Structure 1
Amino acid sequence: MAGTSEQQERDAAREAELRGRVAEQFSRTLADLERLVRIPSVSWPAFDPAHLVASAEEIAELLRETGVFDVVDIRRAPVAGAEHEADPELGQPAVVARREPRGDRPTVLLYAHHDVQPPGRDEDWDTPPFEPSHRDGRLYGRGAADDKAGVMAHIAAIRALAESAAAEGRELELGIALFIEGEEEWASQSFGNFLRENRDLLAADAIIVADSSNWDEHTPGLTVALRGAVAFNLRVETLAHASHSGMFGGAVPDAMLAAVRLLDTLWDADGAVAVEGLRSAELSSPPYDEQRLRAEAGLLDGVSPIGRGEILSRIWAQPAISVTGIDAPDVANASNTLIPAVRVRISARIAPGQQPEEAFTALREHLLAHAPFGARLSFEDESLGQAFLVDTEGWAVGEARRAMADAWGREPVDMGVGGSIPFIAELVEEFPAAQILVTGVEDPDGRAHSPNESLHLASFEKSVLTEALFLDRLDRRTR
């Protein structure tokens, strides 16, 4: 018993040292995060790719400065479908790093992404999107939360871990690999090829995907369910050419009329999905009322929620369909014309347990069966992403929950997320024995992908401490 007590005291002292390091370094962590936010690393094709190179180089240098890794490199891989071409198109630059484990310690792979969404219109931001600013305990800027804070959570936790070990005169024994992707916001088009080309560098016993959210500003969350995604362009045609709306309107259906009538068939009167073949899942959920939904989503007064069942079931476990774009004349160029063709972008989220190929078939068959007035339909640019359910029985989940509880001072919530991280299926395929944890630094008010994206700083520091505690405990764990 005395030996056990002495070991507990040593462990407590070690974790106290680690907590001190995280707190002591936090101002440096924020300064590095702000420097990353200033780099407009948008991965969409219309933006300058030089910024992605600059972002990758900055992160690689931060990793080298830790002195922890045997390898730090910036690499690219061919996009899907181009791998066998003589001069294949390459994906955006990713940062990879690895240190081999010492003795029988496990290896953990830490994932995040350094690319960001386009900022949108500057006038929609209270402060410039790529000039980080502080207000009311939050850091504002594009990528401040999604996902450069995820990148810095990894780096800050590793720094604290390494400096704590050095202060105590011991060697860090844990194996650590990093994969900081550069194109997550543009469909991770080279992800599968990158994994295959760098498999030995990235192989691990546990994987942390730091690209999700916590339950709220005060409560940690472990993401255990993600919906899948199906997106495609739908083209609706009714006329061989445009015609005068006064001459033929009332007798000739234009493409906009057909598209509006067709799209309306995707939902019931209460807004629930009405496509046969799209299924729901059975997932338990914590309490979440309409008041919180209205506050977090920005639902206007007088506008009612849609769907049926528990609110979180609608978001986590039921399908959803959105029309995210329409190609048609804008109001400024509207003329008295019957429009011959309209193109829309349909984005569907599918419940865990349903295959995206099956869901796409259901959507396609529904639209073809409901095309009004004999309108011609064509489908383009399909994008399919797998849903994901975490196996919560593994040792890594238990360690993650314990680290969250110790860092935040309260038990974590097992939560679903209505969004999708399709590449997780590729991680599972390439590393089937690895346990995958989906964590994050965001909170419900972070507004990722939207104007005025922000990061709650007190929550961020707790997220860094969570990961540092998790890594430290793996550093004491046999494989």
Structure 2
Amino acid sequence: MTALNEQTVRARVEADWTRIVDLLKEKIALKAVSAQGITGEHMKRSAEFVAAEMRKVGIDAHVEQSTNPDGTPGAWEVIGSHIVDPKAPTVLLYAHHDVQPAPNPADWGIDDPFTATQVGDRLYGRGTCDDGGGIAIHSGALKALGDDLHVNIKVFFEGEEEMGSRSFIPFIEAHRDEFDSDVIIVADSGNWTPDIPSLTTSLRGNTTLDVSVKVLDHPVHSGQYGGPILDANTLAAMLIASMYNADGELNIPGLLSQEPIGGLQQDLDPDKVRSDTSLVPGYRFAGTGSLASRLWTKPSATVIGFDAHPVDGSFNVIANEARFRLSVRTAPGQRPEEAQQAVADFLTANAPFGASVTVTPLDNGMGWAMDPDAEATEDALAAMREAFGVEPINKGEGGSIPFIPELQRIFPKAQVLVTGPEDPQSNAHSPNESVSLPGLKKNVVAEALLLAKLGQ
């Protein structure tokens, strides 16, 4: 079977481009903010819209409400399929239809975060890239193939990805037959730049812990007892600092580190990282090795919360207890439970000056690594090469998408490919979220070419 050539696919996407962009604009206007209630009518409307759009491109799609692990109603999910030949390969297309809130509209450079606004070659609005762009890619690719589609398609558009996917596993477990597939394409990541495509090779895992440091049963006067007795805030700071070596790299026995999956094709530009993150002048990057490995595959720890008396209204006492929350990103291949235990053991064993340290383990999410040698990986890279006209630069992600390793666990024979419409300027989860329209068009072409190759 001969695959469609790149020129034919590109012409079909060009002819369909207005519809694809209109779909994205309509999706943004639905304000599918799952933080405002995953069971809400606004989320049901969003799911129904996506299902209707899938039906327009040949997918028998419908909406179902999931059930949380505790039996309560969960998110509104979109599932569907189109079977061309029971003997043909089956591809599951994933994206999520919920979006992040936009709490400070004044921080945006457009009038309304939920009204798509084009500025130059970028479309701005909440959900343009995360993950309305993923929905647009799947829709455009399926439309471009039409009757030339030679793989079976299954779709799943999740309604609570931005809220931690609480009902994801129960829903998948209850619909194994509807999701069983040979290849899974997750369109929820991005490219090296708008003009240079990428496969996402890995995702770090995540584990969270609450840590309490106690030195006294009650506060005492800092003038009377300060000196031999350090306050709990200082002791907590000392405990946090003890996790790092002189290079600012985590130095915790049992916490694993990896190098970029599939090898490092190109390191990240330090000046670009400085600019994108608004680093203060003079700050020196912590850690050793490539910047990519430090952001993608080596572990990191972040204090994401700290309970202490505010400066306003403070007075001269020694704080008796402090509490902080650690978010630890783990190497893609390490079980988060192992990393969590390693961190907990280290903190309790290194209590400064014999203070009482209590660690409460919280959530865990497994990391993920792509199979760089899989046939589907080679097809995806070839499709990207044709669609973008340049060599792909694969990249890892420092963040975590826990449902991807769960998909791999439930369907161990499936090859998982992580793609998506984002780029370094996309600002997902932040004000001025946007998607590159030329980049999005190339992503549509790339996925259509990939599906064509998988059908050979």
Checking the alignment, whether the CA contact within 8 Å between 1:72 and 1:98 is kept in structure 2 is no
Q: 1:383-430: CA deviations, max 9, x gaps?
A: 112222211222211211111111100121232222222222211121
Checking the alignment, whether the CA contact within 8 Å between 1:22 and 1:464 is kept in structure 2 is yes
Checking the alignment, whether the CA contact within 8 Å between 1:41 and 1:49 is kept in structure 2 is no
Q: Give distance in 2, aligned partners of 1:58 and 1:246.
A: 65
Q: Give distance in 1, aligned partners of 2:41 and 2:320.
A: 40
Structure 1, gaps ≥5 residues long? 1-6, 83-87
* Counterpart pick for 2:374 among 394, 412, 422: 394
Q: Secondary structure at the match of 2:358?
A: strand
Q: Give distance in 1, aligned partners of 2:43 and 2:61.
A: 20
1:117 equivalent in alignment to 2:100: yes
* Counterpart pick for 1:63 among 54, 60, 66: 54
Q: Secondary structure at the match of 1:92?
A: strand
Residue correspondence of structure 1 range 15-414 to structure 2 within 5 A: 15-44=6-35, 49-66=40-57, 68-79=58-69, 82=70, 88-102=71-85, 104-127=87-110, 128-162=112-146, 165=147, 172-243=149-220, 245=222, 248-250=225-227, 252-283=229-260, 284-288=263-267, 289-332=269-312, 334-380=314-360, 382-414=362-394
Q: Secondary structure at the match of 2:128?
A: coil
Checking the alignment, whether the CA contact within 8 Å between 1:275 and 1:363 is kept in structure 2 is yes
Q: Give distance in 1, aligned partners of 2:104 and 2:317.
A: 30
Q: 1:115-164: CA deviations, max 9, x gaps?
A: 223334334333343333222322222222122211221122222222xx
Q: Give distance in 1, aligned partners of 2:284 and 2:23.
A: 42
1:452 equivalent in alignment to 2:432: yes
Change (3 A) 1:466 1:334: farther
When the two structures are aligned, how many residues end up with a matched partner?
452
Q: Give distance in 2, aligned partners of 1:73 and 1:337.
A: 58
Give me the CA root mean square deviation: 2.5
Letter in 2 for 1:321: A
Q: Give distance in 1, aligned partners of 2:410 and 2:357.
A: 37
Alpha-carbon distance, 1:338 to partner: 3.9
Alpha-carbon distance, 1:305 to partner: 1.3
Alpha-carbon distance, 1:173 to partner: 4.3
Change (3 A) 1:455 1:350: same
Q: Give distance in 2, aligned partners of 1:175 and 1:418.
A: 32
Alpha-carbon distance, 1:337 to partner: 4.6
Change (3 A) 1:417 1:347: same
Alpha-carbon distance, 1:71 to partner: 4.0
Q: Give distance in 1, aligned partners of 2:173 and 2:31.
A: 29
Alpha-carbon distance, 1:47 to partner: 8.3
Q: Secondary structure at the match of 2:441?
A: helix
Q: 1:428-475: CA deviations, max 9, x gaps?
A: 121111111111111122222222222122111111111112223334
Checking the alignment, whether the CA contact within 8 Å between 1:57 and 1:74 is kept in structure 2 is no
Checking the alignment, whether the CA contact within 8 Å between 1:428 and 1:434 is kept in structure 2 is yes
- Scaled by the length of structure 2, the TM-score of the pair is 0.91
Identity of aligned pairs, percent?
39
Q: 1:268-296: CA deviations, max 9, x gaps?
A: 23321122221211332123342233233
Q: Give distance in 2, aligned partners of 1:358 and 1:286.
A: 30
Q: Give distance in 2, aligned partners of 1:242 and 1:55.
A: 52
Q: 1:285-316: CA deviations, max 9, x gaps?
A: 12334223323333232222111111112122
Q: Give distance in 2, aligned partners of 1:142 and 1:446.
A: 10
Structure 2 equivalent of residue 85 of structure 1: none
Checking the alignment, whether the CA contact within 8 Å between 2:63 and 2:76 is kept in structure 1 is no
Q: Secondary structure at the match of 1:93?
A: strand
Structure 2 equivalent of residue 470 of structure 1: 450
Alpha-carbon distance, 1:110 to partner: 0.6
Change (3 A) 1:131 1:241: farther
Q: Give distance in 1, aligned partners of 2:59 and 2:415.
A: 22
- Scaled by the length of structure 1, the TM-score of the pair is 0.87
